[in-house]
Amino acid sequence: MITGNRKPSRRLLVWALLFCSMTLQASPLNVLLAELAVQQHSELRYTEQRHDALLGVPLHSEGTLRYRAPDYLQKTIERGAAGSFVIEGDQLRVQRGERLHELALDSHPLLMAMATALRATLAGDRAALEAQFTLQLEGGHEDWQLRLRPRQREVARVLFELRIHGSGAKIHRIETEERSGDLTITELLHGHAE
């Protein structure tokens, strides 16, 4: 590959860097995230089951999930409870009945981590994900599972891991497993209210 006789090492380095960046670009996770990032906004119905040791039966709720790139996420609960939760930037706005209050996400690392998991995945923002979680992608393109384990000790004390399941650019299911063993399964229903 050495075509000239001057500074061969530098040329080699350029090639190596180019090669590395190509492989990096082409990693399955990057491909997946790039595909997810294409979607600028979405509105999906969801159903949610929370299996909690405090409860005798799983807690069921359902509602609508809205996303707008890059950082707007709204969860409206319509059954099982009522309320609207909007995450925009670093603010979480909670509306329950008449009461509206705001929370700063960075005062609550746990909420911040959970918001990042969903928002950054939808936005295809690998850097933001890596900042908070160790990532592990399993399965094929049509049936993938992304495991996110929190890096922060404070978060990891409560949250064990998040598993996001999907096929292609569609997310089907999110499983949130807490240290306590409690498990929340959120199913996203495509083709309903898109």
Partner 1 sequence: MLSKRWLSLGGWLLLVLLVVFALQRGLQLDSDMQFFLPPAASPQQQLVLDELQQGAAARLWLLAIRAESEATAAALSQRLAESLAGESAFVQVLNRPQPLPEEEQQAWFVYRYLLSELPEMDAASLHQSLQWRLEELASPLGPLLRQTLASDPTAQFQQWLQAWQGEAGPVRRHGVWFGDDGRALLLLRSRAAGMELDAQAANLTLIESHFAALPGSAGASLSIGGAAPLAVTSRDTIRSEAQWLSLLATLLVALILLWAWRSPRLWLLAALPLGSAVLGGLWVTQTLFGQVHGITLAFGITLLGVALDYPLHLFSQLRPGSRPSEALAVVWPRLRLGVLSTAAGYLAMIASGFPGLVQLGAFAASGLLVAALVTWLVLPAALPRIWQGRESQRAALPVPPAWRMRVRIALLLGLAGLSLLVLLTSPRPIWQSELAALSPIPEPLRQQETALRQALGLAELGQMLAIRGDSAEVVLQRSEDLLPQLQAWQQAGLIQDVELATALLPSERRQRQRQQALPDPLALQAALDEAQQGLPFRQGVFADFVEALRHSHELAPLQPAMLETLLPDSLLAARLAPLLFERDGQWWALLRLHGLQDGQALADWVATNSDGDLHYLDLARDTSAMMLTFQRAALSWLGGGALLIGLLLWWGLAGLRQALPVLLPVLSALLVTLALLHLMGQLLSVFHLVALLLVLGIGLDYSLFFQHGGNRQQRRRTGHALRLCAISSMAVFVILALSSLPVLQAIGLTVSVGILTSFLFAWLLTPAGVDPPNKA
Asked if 110 touches partner 1 (CB under 8 A), the answer is yes
Q: How far is the CB of 96 from partner 1 (least distance, A)?
A: 7
| Cβ pair 58, 51 in contact under 8 A | yes
Among residues 80, 130, 156, 170, the one that binds partner 1 under rule CB under 8 A: 80
Nearer residue to partner 1 within complex by CB, 121 or 184: 184
Asked if 52 touches partner 1 (CB under 8 A), the answer is yes
Asked if 50 touches partner 1 (CB under 8 A), the answer is yes
Neighbours of 110 (CB within 10 A): 17
Rounded to 5 degrees, φ, ψ at 137 are -105, 130
Report which secondary-structure segment, H or E, holds 150: strand 143-150
Asked if 175 touches partner 1 (CB under 8 A), the answer is no
Asked if 121 touches partner 1 (CB under 8 A), the answer is no
Asked if 70 touches partner 1 (CB under 8 A), the answer is no
Among residues 36, 120, 159, 188, the one that binds partner 1 under rule CB under 8 A: 159
Nearer residue to partner 1 within complex by CB, 18 or 100: 100
Kindly indicate which of the ranges 36-44, 104-112, 122-130, 137-145 contains the residues binding partner 1, using the contact rule CB under 8 A: 104-112
Question: Structure tokens of 194?
Answer: 């898109």
67 burial class (0-12, 13-18, 19+ CB within 10 angstroms)?
Answer: buried
Report which secondary-structure segment, H or E, holds 37: helix 28-38
Largest pairwise CA distance in the chain: 76
Contacts (CB under 8 A) with partner 1, residues 2-41: none
Question: Structure tokens of 175?
Answer: 């499983």
Distance CA 80, CA 35 (A): 33
Contacts to partner 1 by CB under 8 A: 48, 50, 52-57, 59, 61, 75, 77, 80-83, 85, 89-92, 94, 96, 104, 106-108, 110-111, 114-115, 154, 158-159, 176, 178, 180, 182, 184
